[in-house]
Structure 1
Amino acid sequence: MSRCQNWQGNKFTVSSALAAAAAIPCLRIGKEIHGHIMRTGLESDQVVWSSLSDMYGKCGSIEEARHIFDRMVDRDDLVSWTSLIAGYAQNGKPNEALHYFELLLNSGKVHPDHITFVGVLSACAHAGLVDKGLQYFYSIKDKHGLTYTTDHYACIIDLLARCGRFEEAKRIISGMPIKPDKFLWASLLGGCRIHKNVELAEKAAEALFEIEPENPATYVTMANIYATAGKWAEVAKIRTIMDDRGVVKKPGKSWIEVKRKTHVFLVGDKSHPKSKQIHEFLGELSRRMKEEGFVPDTNSVLHDVEEEQKEQNLSYHSEKLAIAYGVISTAAGTPIKVFKNLRTCVDCHTAIKFISKIVDRKIVVRDSARFHCFENGSCSCRDYW
């Protein structure tokens, strides 16, 4: 933005720029656009203000998003309410999401639509609020007169599967008037992974293989489920199928911005100029973590090898490398924010809780699903994600 001092733009171009910053996501660019908005007087436009709140939420600054929302003169805009509700859900603050949903209902001026309910059901799913989630789900049709969408069904199946309530999930699926989509089956598969339900996982995976046989996520999840169950022959079979179909696992990568420069890491990465210091620091952290009671979770390592080798494989996952670099490259107490293209694994999630306490830092990790805010040994998701 600094190179375009004479550029004015209008509410549509600025809103598009904010949407692009949110999609990356890049808070630094979003803040620069915010400054441009204030300089050019566009802050009075409802569309721009709503886009600004949405950008902050998607970039992990949910309190700033709420601050923008609270300053809105006109709150009759459903998009603004929905963005804030979804933002709180994505940032691991389900109670706040539901609080604002209730405020929306009580306002009497704005009525939720199907997109609003996706945010509400997502908040319930990530907090384990099964009964409340079911109440909201049935109210979509019975109270608000809306038609269920595939997104609503995917969210409620996600909620039930995460809690292991598979019989209820199967009943809802069998009674659906529309065909289940890939998101629903992926939600069911994810719940099966959590609760080690191999039989139902195979049915969900079979449906996903038919819908999108080229998606490596299904194969990897099934391999993880089989590995956890000790079914190494099945793990090998999955790998063979992937090879035969030309399916390649998407490499996990994490990145962190330090002093306006982005640093990208792959698993086991040694290409960074400070690789030696990073690995040494992680080694010291590993020792201190074990002293604090940390036990590596090797269940999902897809190799039938010794435990020591499994632990070694886990020690240098990309998000751990990015966090380590952030800690050694910034002043004590500086918050660390890392982004990852895939979902973080259980071992990394547990490890980062320990790291946040040991280094006394706030560590935010944005994986492919949501934000995790680690502080003093705990995570905002309360280990439910």
Structure 2
Amino acid sequence: MRALRSTTVAAVAVAATLTAVSGCAQKSDAKGADGKGVIEVTATDTGCEVSATSFPAGHVQFSVRNKGSKVTEVYVYAPGDRIVTERENIGPGTKAEITAEIKAGTYEVACKPGMKGDGIRQKVTASGKGAPAARDPRLDAAVAAYRKYVQEQADQTLPAARKFADAVKAGDVAAAQRTYALSRVGWERTEPVAESFGDIDPKVDVRADGLEDGQKWTGWHRLEKSLWEEKKISEDDKKLAAQLITDLEDWQKRVGTAEITPTSMANGAKELLDEVATGKVTGEEERYSHTDLLDFQANVEGAQHAYELLKPVAAKNDPALAKELDKQFAAIRAQLDKHRDSESADGFASYDTVGKDARKELSDGVNALAEPLSKLAAAVATGK
């Protein structure tokens, strides 16, 4: 998980007055679904202006602008802080477009200046029947196949995670180090689905600088710190290893209930690239173990799997986009291949040995893929 998360929703065409309590403003006459208009959101360092607090359910387009001085992010939350959609890394003065399938109900739009905290929130309501029932049957097949994929990844993660946890509980630092990165692959491939539940990711994948006030640090990265920085396993670490398995078993049981739509698959693929940009390329994600490249590969694999399932419809609606995505996925995989190490436990070079120029090449590759990938949701939203 990113220590700091970033996503925002964009520019309001008309001025609105910020409410004293929430720091959010609204304009009630904007439209916003299925071609009827766009929900404009302007994020600043102290406010989150939403151009409409009610709109038709269905495929909703959010147009996002960050007018603040800090990098920000935007979330759409369902009750219980279940993440419906998000967009990260919206820099000062930049824009982003988010297309999401929103069912009838009440939600909150949250802007997070500085990518931390609960965000500045605005309650919104989607009403009506939502997206038309008749859509390309290939999209229904894609959702079914992706649901099977995320369950398989959770099922495959548990044995690998238990092997890691057993090594920790046995006090075997070397064995725990060898199995640490491999235990995370399935999680990294499907993390946006896990994050959609709201409460699992902070337990298993948070980093020290992502902790909220009063939150106990648990999960993989706390154990990573013990194994590589402290180079010893405490009795508390053994308890944390057991708790990690309990939390991952919870994820495994619940992942089949996740709400998955064609647009959430497309947005999730983009979120995985954001994960790479904010954590793996920078070296922040695995700051003690330096196993970032295996995480990087898993994120790319997960994003590409979602894209390949959606590709038949995306290629029909936007052939140029599909051609560009094919090209950029191949390019980023080729760049990763340059850093393979057959003698490493996880198959990749330690990221602290990857030089500045090579990191920039990887970063440029991620950006080249992320830009067209951000358009995938819009391409499949029209697949009716």
Superposition TM-score tier, normalisation by shorter sequence: under 0.3
Bigger helix fraction: 1
Larger Rg: 1
Bigger strand fraction: 2
TM-score norm. by structure 1 comes to: 0.26
Greater relative contact order (Cα < 8 A, sep 6+): 2
